[in-house]
Structure formats: structure tokens, C-alpha cells
Structure 1
Amino acid sequence: MSFTDQVVVVTGAAQGIGRSVAEAYAVAGAKVVLADFQEAEGAAAAASIRNEGGEAIFVQCDVRKEKDIANLIQTTMEEYKQINILVNNAGVARWKSPYELTLEEWDDVLNTNVRSCFLASREAAKHMKQNEHGGSIINMASTRAFMSEPETEAYAASKGAIVALTHAMAVSLGKDGIRVNCISPGWIETGSVDELKPEDHEQHPAGRVGVPSDISRACLYLSDPGNTFVTGTNLMIDGGMTRKMIYED
């Protein structure tokens, strides 16, 4: 897949999945705007892409702040004159008992994970609809929108909301040629896969734990200009774990 002359904005791009997504688009020929709260790490990620021959800039952005998101989109337009693809990847988690989770912590998770998706999509879509072929928005949800562990209420609620937001915006923006999809990753190891135990891999029907490039390839598929019939969907990438029945001995 070629994304030559496409302009891609990726939030939460300083490390992990976000950085992998940004790098994949750059390799495919896109001009990439990396956004993140972490300035040093984000700038380094953009520099690494440029050192490999890609085109990338970094914009510091706290996605909890509407003005930062507006600045991100404005800076992108000033630099590249268009936006074709937006990947809303930025997110945080709080593992805490619902008895102890504070209102401030709840709001921080929801504002970072969900509200930012809406705000960034709203601002980017204003420019995407001016493109001849519209645009593509990808939101990063999670398998935790559908299944849970204890003490994950805020995170699960935020990811469930992202799935619902995705199909709602797909319907609203479809008339403007803008496709909106989301990805629900399962266990994606952003550290060293070599440090995992054999049973970590064996519990997955696919036979292994996921890695960031599994998500990057999905982003390329969902945003490919030729896939105009793919919108409003949630792509589950979890090595089959959400389809595996588990019984206690």
C-alpha cells in the first residue's frame, strides 16, 4: 500500500503503538505529524523517521486540552495544507478499585481517551471534507470494551465509548467522504517480547502475543484510499483471545 502525498496525524506517537503507526505510514510514503504530551520522546521519534528518509514533524499536544488539539490541526494545515488520515491513539489507564477511584481520575481517563477522539476528529474533519476523496479517521479502542478484569472501570468505559463514537461519527461524516473506524487491540507487547513466558503466547489461539506492527498494518488497511466500503467497523486484533472459552479446573 502506498500513501505517497497523504498527510497523517497520529496522537500518542512518542512510543509504543503510536510510534509504530507513525513509522509505518512514513515507510509507506506519507507525511506524518506526530503528536504527544512527551516533548523529548516525541521529537526523538520524529527525528528517527527523518533519519530513515521519511518526512515527519512533531507537535507537542495534551489531548485533554481543546486548544492543544486545535493547535495540532492548525499546525498540520500550515505545514502540509491538508489532512488525509487521523489516528486517535493517545490514551491513559487507571487500575484502581471503584470504591477508591476519584472523580478527577475518572474524568482524566475519559477526557484523555474519549473526548480527545471527538475533538480531534471534529477539527480534522473540517479539513478532510474539503479533500477530493475525503479522509479516514481511526480510533484506538480495546478488547476491554467487551471484556474486563477487576478495577478497570474508567478504562473499560472509555474504550466502550470509543467504539460507539466511531460508528456514530461514521454515519454523520459519511456524506462528506470521511470514513471512521476503530481498532480494538488485545495484548500488544510494547516492551521486549523475549521476556515473556511461553504460556503468555500459548494462551492466544494465534500462538503468540501481539506486537505494535500488528496494529500498524491494520491502520494501513483501514485507511487505504481503495477501501471505501470499510467504515463504522471495529477491527478486533487480539490473537483470537476474545473468541476463546476459558473454564476453571
Structure 2
Amino acid sequence: MRSVLITGGAGGIGLGIALHLHFKQLARVSILDKQHLADAQHLFCSKAGFDAERALFLSCDIADEAQVKAAVAKTNHTFGGIDCVINNAADQSTFGTSFEDLSLDRFMQTLTVNVGGTFAVTQAALPSLKRAAQGPYGASVINLSSTRAFQSERDTEAYSTSKGAITSLTHALAASLSPYHIRVNAIAPGWIDVRELQWRSGEVEPLSKEDHEQHWVGRVGTAQDVAHMACFLMDQEASGFMTGHTLPVDGGMTKKMMYVE
């Protein structure tokens, strides 16, 4: 069975991927996050089919290199290696902060977490990935970019910049890791409704008909949509001839003309 390390795995898209891999019995999952780990662990334990030997919950700030190395070492010790790294953790705290009010420190902090963390986790896991590349599952890295790498709304400078950098880092890593037969790809989610996978109080309001109809496929995306793409990208047989690419999972929105009909 594959061993997958997922950053930012205690909520949102990361949690959705972790749940899918675990309860479909597709992989052992090492879930790294710096918050809500207890909530995520309780959620896993509450579900039928939970297997404690296939799930590891580790507190880790991916902007701290020492913590990253410790978490990777713990994952290796517990699971005997890492076949796939999913770099999902991201700082979104600057959303809605105007360009005029956004400080350089906050801008750089977002890049440190989102881009620097992706770099640090991949580098720390590299010895494990090199070994896995010789095994039955191969080795892969999956980075979470965003459709915001290609298009923007107001007041998203730090986050959009970081996702553009992750897209570039993805093809740079694909080149550098190719001698080891490690594939590196990225997923660029569009509008993914993960409100039920976030630890917020209060009821989740249903999305409107208009929200869904903005997408050519007729609905807003779910974490399952991203999880299915992650499974495809880590599967050596299904996607073994793919590396260096960023694949949108967006219901067609990045290809849609925005004229009012």
C-alpha cells in the first residue's frame, strides 16, 4: 500500500484527500498540520473503517525546516517510507487585504509558507522518494497550485503570487528530480466547496443555482474532485508519462468567456 504525506491535511482540500485515500484503502496517510489536528483525528476515528495503523497525525509548521524534517522522519519511521508527497498547506490570511494595506512582511510570510513550505517538504522527503522510485508504486510529488495562478480577483496579491510560484516550482522540480524517476505535477483547483471540511461553527448555507450554473459542468467542485485527480497523478500506470504539468480542476471556469449572457 502506498504511503502518502499530506501537508495541510487537517482541513479543507487536504482533509478531503486524506479521507478519500484512507477510507478507500488506497494509501497510508501522514497528515501534517499546525492546527485542528485533534478535530481531524476525532473525525477519522468516528468513521467506520478507520484503521489507526494507516493514519498518522503530526503537528508541523511547514515554514519551520526543523519541524518539517522531524515530521518526515516520523513518517518514514512509522510507514517505512514515503511514495508520494502532496503539498497542500497554504496561508490564505491576506485574502481581502487591499494592496495598499498589505505589508511586505505579510506578503513575504505567505510566500514563505506556500512556496517555501512546498520546497522544504519536498526536499526533506527526497531521500524517501528516491527509494520509492525503485519500488512498485514509483514516486511522485503533487503540489496544490490554484486557478488564481492564471487569473485574479482584487486583493489577492500574496496568495495569487504564491500559487503562480508553485506552478513554476512544479516544472522546475520535475526537471531536477527527473534523473531519480520522480514525477512532479500540480493541481490547480477552481471553486471547490470545502466548507463542511473546515472547522467553523454555524450551519453551512447551500450554494445557489447561479453558483453552480457558472460552471460548464453545472456544479461547484468538491474535495472529491481534487482527490480523484490526486489519485490519478500518483498512479504510475495511469499518469506515468506526465510530469511538470499543472492541471486545472475547475469545471471549465478558466476557459469560460465572462460576458453577461
Alignment-derived partner of residue 247 in structure 1: 259
Q: CA RMSD in A?
A: 1.8
What SS does structure 2 have at the residue aligned with 1:32?
strand
What SS does structure 2 have at the residue aligned with 1:219?
helix
Unaligned regions of 5+ residues in structure 1, if any? none
What SS does structure 1 have at the residue aligned with 2:82?
coil
Question: Does 2:176 align with 1:180?
Answer: no
Task: State the percentage of identical aligned residues.
Answer: 39
Q: Deviations over 1:171-226 (max 9, x none)?
A: 11011011000000000001268611110001111110001000000000000021
Cα contact 1:148–1:156 (8 A) shared by 2: yes
Q: CA deviation at 1:44?
A: 2.6
Question: Does 2:216 align with 1:205?
Answer: yes
Q: Deviations over 1:216-247 (max 9, x none)?
A: 00000000021211111111010000000012
**Stretch deviating more after TM superposition (104-113 or 45-54):** 45-54
Cα contact 1:20–1:216 (8 A) shared by 2: yes
Q: CA deviation at 1:107?
A: 1.8
- If the length of structure 1 is used for normalisation, what is the TM-score? 0.93
**Stretch deviating more after TM superposition (158-167 or 116-125):** 116-125
Cα contact 2:44–2:50 (8 A) shared by 1: no
**Stretch deviating more after TM superposition (204-213 or 188-197):** 188-197
Q: Separation in 1 of the partners of 2:216 and 2:26?
A: 34
Cα contact 1:125–1:178 (8 A) shared by 2: no
Task: Map 1:1-249; keep pairs closer than 5 Å.
Answer: 5-26=1-22, 27-38=24-35, 39-48=37-46, 52-53=50-51, 55-93=54-92, 94-95=94-95, 96-131=97-132, 132-133=134-135, 134-191=138-195, 195-226=206-237, 227-247=239-259
Matched residues, number? 245
Q: Deviations over 1:63-100 (max 9, x none)?
A: 11111111110001111111101100001211211111
- If the length of structure 2 is used for normalisation, what is the TM-score? 0.89
What SS does structure 2 have at the residue aligned with 1:195?
coil
